[in-house]
Amino acid sequence: MLKYLKNCMLGYSALFCLLGIVLMIWPIGAFTVICYIMGAVCMLYGAYRIVLFFAEKSVYDALPYSFLLGMANVLLGLFLVVKTPSAISIFSAIVGIAILVSALMYMQISVEALRAGLPNSIMMIIGSALMLLLGILTLFHPFAASEAMGIFAGASMLVDGITGLVIAWRSKKLAKLIKNELATPVDEI
């Protein structure tokens, strides 16, 4: 189970590093492409759900809320394609939330590592605190220019990814330390 979690953390962190680098190099282009792709996918899925609703012979055969979900997806897709700048601002807020959640998770792991006496735990805590600060800034103080916001979001994602890679790498030592602590017999009083 721990190996699975570590692999998930490594994959998630590597993806955040890659996305962060792309956003830092091509912020507006990356945001625009993401909006267009997501908009097209939403519209196609919405159209599929609407067709599915009307293709059913009986009301009882239709998937629950198929028409409603289809229309909602079509409208979301149109919003992403037509109002790309607004969608970019919303995307930045979502990135900020993802960074905050990740930072809080890393902070907990880092504090547990410090409590267990793992060397260099302070560096893990500093990285987590830096991520927390970047997440708050991304969420609550977006820059006026979309390009600067994209570069900042990319830098935040890159710091998040690097911190996650370091914590995942260090988690093996933490797991061994905890396992050894659990294996140590306790003297009875």
Separation of alpha carbons 142 and 149, rounded Å: 6
Q: Which pair of tokens denotes residue 155?
A: 């830098």
- Domains of the chain: which residue ranges? 2-182
Q: Which of 137, 162, 131, 158 is CA-nearest to residue 27?
A: 158
**pLDDT tens profile 83-123:** 988 887 777 777 778 889 999 999 999 999 899 888 888 99
CB 65 within 8 A of CB 180: no
pTM of the predicted model over 0.85? no
Burial of 61-81, coded b for 16+ CB within 10 Å and e otherwise, reads: ebeeebeebbbebbebbebbb
**pLDDT tens profile 57-81:** 666 656 677 889 999 999 999 999 9
Check residues 104 and 183 and name the one with the higher pLDDT.
104
Q: Which of 105, 84, 101, 102 is CA-nearest to residue 150?
A: 84
pLDDT at 63: 66
